[in-house]
A and B are shown apart, each in its own frame.
Chain A
Amino acid sequence: DGGITQSPKYLFRKEGQNVTLSCEQNLNHDAMYWYRQDPGQGLRLIYYSQIVNDFQKGDIAEGYSVSREKKESFPLTVTSAQKNPTAFYLCASSIGTASSNQPQHFGDGTRLSIL
């Protein structure tokens, strides 16, 4: 079955540590996104990528980094510069960003907590 796989489901970070969240899709989608969701809140866009080897900052990119070396993969690194990383992280993909007609498909998320 095609879909988006996020791992791990739960992740704990120590002070000063960088952690990387995995996102893999087999939908052959060009565009991929990372969102952050805080309790009781909507999603906020961290980074997005429209094509391999290209990515752009979203609304809250500070303290995060991404790479897009393969079409299928869009890992997110939460760096030590992100002072409030505890949140639910969601990865999504879509056929493209060029049209507002295309729905986004989401993974089941990674819940990151501070130790």
Chain B
Amino acid sequence: DAKTTQPNSMESNEEEPVHLPCNHSTISGTDYIHWYRQLPSQGPEYVIHGLTSNVNNRMASLAIAEDRKSSTLILHRATLRDAAVYYCILRLNAGGTSYGKLTFGQGTILTVHP
């Protein structure tokens, strides 16, 4: 399975932008890049995903490098409610014996200071 590498932790101040990096140098051509976040004692929450082009939704933006070997999740204005563990995941292209499972790594612990 293609793996991702994320910093163990990052800190931000409230109302400031946050850029969460992810390296995935062994990504396959058809793997989607997904981001989830998890608050303490809760299930993961889907944030955003993309393939090649940058993506925006109401929660965040996803910037994907041209060679697809890295990506960055951007929270435009961090709030205290954004404090969570953020997971960058390569979603295996389902087909044949594959089944699109999510492989979670350690993630990045984001701390937001008031």
Residues of chain A whose beta carbon lies under 8 Å from any beta carbon of chain B: 4, 6, 33, 35, 37, 40-45, 48, 50, 56, 58, 88, 90-92, 94, 97-109, 111
A6 to B43, CA, bound (A): 10
Give which listed residue, A43, A44, A94, contacts B44 with CB less than 8 A: A43
| Cα A91 to Cα B101 with chains together (Å) | 13
B94 beta carbon closer than 8 Å to chain A: yes
Closest Cβ–Cβ distance, residue B19 to chain A (whole Å): 22
Across-interface contacts of A44 in B (CB, < 8 A)? 104
Given contacts A100-B92, A109-B43, contact A42 B106 (CB under 8 A): yes
Find out whether the CB atom of B43 lies under 8 angstroms from the CB atom of A45: no
Task: Give the Cβ gap from B107 to chain A, nearest Cβ, in Å.
Answer: 7
A–B Cβ pairs within 8 angstroms, 25 of them? A35-B104, A41-B106, A42-B103, A42-B105, A43-B102, A48-B99, A56-B99, A58-B101, A92-B44, A92-B102, A97-B100, A98-B94, A99-B94, A99-B100, A100-B91, A100-B93, A100-B100, A101-B49, A102-B100, A103-B34, A103-B46, A104-B44, A104-B46, A106-B44, A108-B42
The reply to whether B95 and A45 contact each other, CB–CB distance below 8 Å, is no
> What is the CA–CA distance of A45 and B98 in the complex, to the nearest angstrom?
13
| Residue tally, chain B, CB below 8 Å to A | 27
Q: How far is the CA of A41 from the CA of B103 in the complex (A)?
A: 11
Say yes or no: B43 contacts A90, CB within 8 Å. Answer: yes
B30 surroundings in chain A (CB, below 8 A): 100
In the assembled complex, which residues on chain B have CB atoms less than 8 Å from the CB atom of A4?
43
With A41-B106, A42-B104 known to touch, is A97 a contact of B99 (CB < 8 Å)?
yes
Given contacts A35-B104, A100-B32, 15 further A-B contacts (CB under 8 A): A35-B102, A41-B106, A43-B44, A45-B102, A90-B44, A91-B43, A98-B95, A99-B94, A100-B92, A100-B93, A100-B94, A104-B46, A104-B102, A107-B43, A111-B41
CA distance A45 to B51 in the complex (A): 23
Asked if A100 contacts B31 (CB within 8 A), the reply is yes
